[in-house]
Chain A
Amino acid sequence: MKYLVLLMGDGELKPWSDHTEEEQLEAMGRFQAFDAACAAREGVEILGGEALGDPADTTTLRTRGGQLQLTDGPYAEAVEGLGGFYLVEAPDLDVLVELLRVLPPYDMQVSPVVEVPM
């Protein structure tokens, strides 16, 4: 299955900007360890993944009455902290969750991707 993993919020972690240089390095290490763990796991592949820019630079698009409107900021307050994403191929939810434990303990949302039959 293919999953979109959204890194939704800091959870019990400090905001990134409050991390010391050492803490930032430690977190980066965990992202690298996640890459390595996925690569080592049979049937698992990271298909894509990026860190996202400042939510203040996010733009929301809504089409109302056929008219496209652009607004400043994220779609909903709840996703204000959306920090990054992965697109991961994994055999099942258990394998994915096991691997995601390697990452810093962010609040995450995991959604299966709709597979369109060929």
Chain B
Amino acid sequence: MSDPTTDPLARVVREEWGRLVALLLAQFRRLDLVEDALGDAVEAASRTWPRDGVPDNPAGWLMTTARRRLLDRLRTEEVARRKQPLLATDAERHQQGARTMADPGAVLEDDLLRLVLMCSHPALAPEAASALSLRLVLGVATPDIARLFLVPEPTMAARITRAKKRIVGAGIPFAVPDASVLPERIENVAQTAYLAFTAGYAPGSGPDLLRAELAGEAVRLVRTTLALCPDEPVLLALLALVLLQHSRRDARVSDGRLVLLPDQDRRRWRTDEVDEARRLLEHPALAGPIPLLAASYTLQARIAAEHALAPSSAETRWDRIVRLYDALLGLAPSPSARLARAVAVAEDRGAAAGLEALEGVEVPGSHRPAAVRAELLARAGDTVAARAAYDQAIAACRNDVELQHLRERRQSLG
């Protein structure tokens, strides 16, 4: 797909894909056909628009073309007397009949919310839900989703197809659920988006900047959902969190090497994203008592904001960060939060205090506790123990970039 800023087709696909999918699903209830029909329409547009000019209503053009494809398919099925199962939708759907892109706001946005909720349904495996959301809500291409999740393309294509089959087969509806369970379901959307986001930053087998860019699609998923539910605490907090983390992407890697937070060139952080995140954190919906997941995202975002706002690494307010980690551990104790707190304690009160805070912290399958211990032991001057801890971290590390960093650190001990 070419650049959405210059190519009108790329732009309408990027901006309207989810709404088009939602409208087609609302009308035809055929999850197995909608994506192909829309893909055909985009393909047709790529041939005819350059020749005939871009239509006045590009999204409407795609909708009409896709709808025609779908009707053709349904007619073929009729001839073959083979009826496929339909997607379940909420009851009101049945009376509403066909709709077009000309329909005003609210109804259309309801359909988009139905799509978002369906894709992140808790009865789907989390990774399948993430992939399906990127595909159906945002129109991210399957090869890109495969790269994001570090799986081969055919594996990802199969995963998406299986998820679509399961939705229809299990009766997962294209519907907005009862108000009593809607907040829970919005939390599922948040977790689904965050899983996709963290996949973009998960250590791969090599340096791959593109994957951080793909994590930006997860940010877009949060943004899209927040636009549908503008005062939802969990989405406000999550958008702030991912924006702050994502704002550092350009500074994280230099010449294919990982650059740790203290060494990052802060001028390369995206200040517009940091500013937006700060505004989100001041939203009144985050001021009062909020549900656990929203509170956890808020605290994590406030920690990231402390880093983002420090003029230099040396001026970081580690005392405040330690307090935020204390609050976070009070909400939801996790080994990785304890590890991060130990790092903050070491910065605030010295290596010995950090080592004490690190006591008993284990993250299964991770080299990080050993790597932090090694670093703190080196700072405390215990070279022998530091070397042993580096060896332990190196043995457990699976990421090329981090591995190189650990080897260099061990070497520098002399």
Contacts and interface: CB of A to CB of B under 8 A. Distances in A.
20 contacts: A1-B88, A1-B171, A90-B171, A91-B90, A91-B173, A92-B88, A92-B172, A92-B173, A93-B123, A93-B171, A94-B175, A94-B177, A95-B173, A98-B177, A98-B181, A112-B169, A112-B170, A112-B171, A115-B85, A117-B83
A22 to B, nearest CB: 28
Given A93-B173, A94-B177, 7 more contacts: A91-B90, A91-B91, A92-B88, A92-B175, A96-B171, A112-B169, A117-B83
Contacts of A91: 88, 90-91, 171, 173
Contacts of A112: 169-171
Contacts, number: 42
Contacts of A95: 173
A77 B91 CA distance: 40
B178 interface: yes
Interface of A: 1, 3, 42-43, 90-96, 98, 112, 115, 117
Contact of B88 (A42, A93, A115, A117): A93
A115 B85 CA distance: 10
Nearest to B89: A92
Interface residues of B, number: 18
Nearest to B117: A94
Q: Is the interface of B mostly helix, strand, loop or mixed?
A: loop
Interface string B173-207: 10101101100000000000000000000000000
B104 to A, nearest CB: 27
A43 B91 CA distance: 9
Interface string B66-108: 0000000000000000010100111100000000000000000
Of the candidates A43, A91, A94, the one having the most CB atoms from chain B within 10 angstroms of its own CB is A94
Contacts of B181: 94, 98
Contacts of B178: 94, 98
Nearest to B85: A115
A99 to B, nearest CB: 10
Nearest to A110: B170
Contacts of B91: 42-43, 91
A94 B222 CA distance: 23
Contact of B172 (A93, A98, A117): A93
Contacts of B173: 91-95
B114 to A, nearest CB: 11
Contact of A93 (B89, B90, B170, B180): B170
